[in-house]
Amino acid sequence: MSREDIIFRLAERADLSSIVRLLADDDMGSQRERDEEPLPESYYAAFEKINGDANHELIVAELGREVVGTLHIIFLTSISFQGGLRAQIESVRVERRHRSHRIGSEMLKWAIERAKERGAHLVQLTTHLSRKDAHRFYERLGFKGTHLGMKLSLR
Amino acid sequence: MSREDIIFRLAERADLSSIVRLLADDDMGSQRERDEEPLPESYYAAFEKINGDANHELIVAELGREVVGTLHIIFLTSISFQGGLRAQIESVRVERRHRSHRIGSEMLKWAIERAKERGAHLVQLTTHLSRKDAHRFYERLGFKGTHLGMKLSLR
């Protein structure tokens, strides 16, 4: 598989069930998602908000017309860094059968290029502290693990 | 000083120089901000984008008509968590003279309430790994440091 075989593009409404399937296909995701047919309406409502906001880019990776990966880029304007723009990457997933086939790294490289195109000075993401493999993956792409990501659940 | 003395409100354009002064007043901020008179135009451009986007709330804490703290809340819609809404907190600063006067914790509690009001299921933030005092501060507010925050500079 070469990079040329993979297409990266903005997600469409018709991709939503593939995206939810990818999000649901891990230990934590299986507990918090509802990969059902039809999908719960809340997924469509979120998609419409994301799709209508130029600061959001929900991306799918397509291989042979099949959605095999997804990530979500959010462009964040801040006062800090002299009014700088950051790109935040969330919800990175690659289809289980296609892991270790470099789709993840090509997808991230594509997202980093996209962040540069839009003028971001920084790309940021968080991954669970226990996921040492993911840390190495992102370090190979040039990321530095300098921060502690802290979460407060409101549920 | 009681909680009642502090006013939390959306920042206005006239607060921008106070906010930049707060951002510039630490080791890292002093290197990346330009606390000048007049402020570089890029700060005003960023303020206008933030002010015009309902997903952003740039907050100041006011004590006796003086701006003594700031934080920036960004509401992020995702497909994950069944199309859930998260609140991300960035750029938390308290004026040096007023640290340890509980302004920081009151400001964070206010932001957490705001996140609940808007229906967020999670509040998230990152702090530098070296800032153990900040980790304890956020843990006291209920945050759990579960993630590694990774950054890639594009400059």
Rounded CA-CA distance B155/B153 in Å is 6
Q: What percent of chain A has pLDDT over 70?
A: 97
* For residue A2, pLDDT beyond 80: no
In chain B, beta strands by DSSP E:
6-10, 56-63, 66-77, 85-94, 122-128, 144-153
pLDDT at A76 over 70: yes
**What is the distance between the alpha carbons of residues B119 and B79, in angstroms, rounded to a whole number?**
15
- Torsion angle defined by CA atoms of residues A126, B134, B77 and B47, in that order, rounded to the nearest 10 degrees: -110
| Chains A–B, number of C-beta pairs less than 8 Å apart | 219
Of B72, B91, B143, the CB nearest to A150: B143
Exposed e or buried b per residue across B55-67, where buried means at least 16 C-beta atoms within 10 angstroms of its C-beta: bbbbbbbbbeeeb
Is residue A3 very low, low, confident or very high in pLDDT (cuts 50, 70, 90)? low
Residue A26: predicted pLDDT: 83
Residues in chain B with pLDDT < 70? 1-4
Q: Would the pLDDT of A150 be above 90?
A: yes
Check: CB of residue A109 under 8 Å from CB of residue A97. no
Mean pLDDT of A13-32: 93
Q: Is a pLDDT exceeding 80 seen at residue A101?
A: no
**Predicted local distance difference test score (pLDDT) of residue A56:** 98
A111 chain-B contacts, CB cut-off 8 A: none
ipTM of the assembly?
Answer: 0.94
The whole-number pLDDT of residue B2 equals 56
Output the six-digit token pair for B145: 């440091």
List pLDDT tens digits, range A54-70: 999 999 999 999 999 99
Cβ distance B122 to A154 less than 8 Å, yes or no, reads: yes
Residues of A in contact with B91 (CB under 8 A): 78-80
